[in-house]
């Protein structure tokens, strides 16, 4: 039997900014590697 878990994040403004920065960097790197 398989189980699945869902998580919801509630980041602070500082954490939200860091997440956006990290995702943006990953996107740019991925696109350049293509």
pLDDT in tens, 1-34: 889 999 999 999 999 999 999 999 999 999 999 9
Q: Which two tokens stand for residue 2?
A: 């398989």
pLDDT value of position 2: 86
Quote the CA–CA distance of 8 and 28 in Å, as a whole number.
Answer: 26
Residue 11: partners with Cβ closer than 8 Å, 6 or more residues away: 19
Quote the CA–CA distance of 23 and 25 in Å, as a whole number.
Answer: 5
Q: Which two tokens stand for residue 11?
A: 């980041």
Q: Which two tokens stand for residue 19?
A: 């997440």
Predicted TM-score (pTM) of this structure: 0.65
Q: Which helix (H) or strand (E) holds 32?
A: helix 13-33
């Amino acid at each position: 039997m398989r189980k699945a878990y869902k998580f919801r994040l509630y980041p602070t403004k500082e954490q939200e900014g860091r997440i956006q920065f990290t995702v943006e960097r990953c996107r740019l790197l991925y696109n350049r590697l293509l």
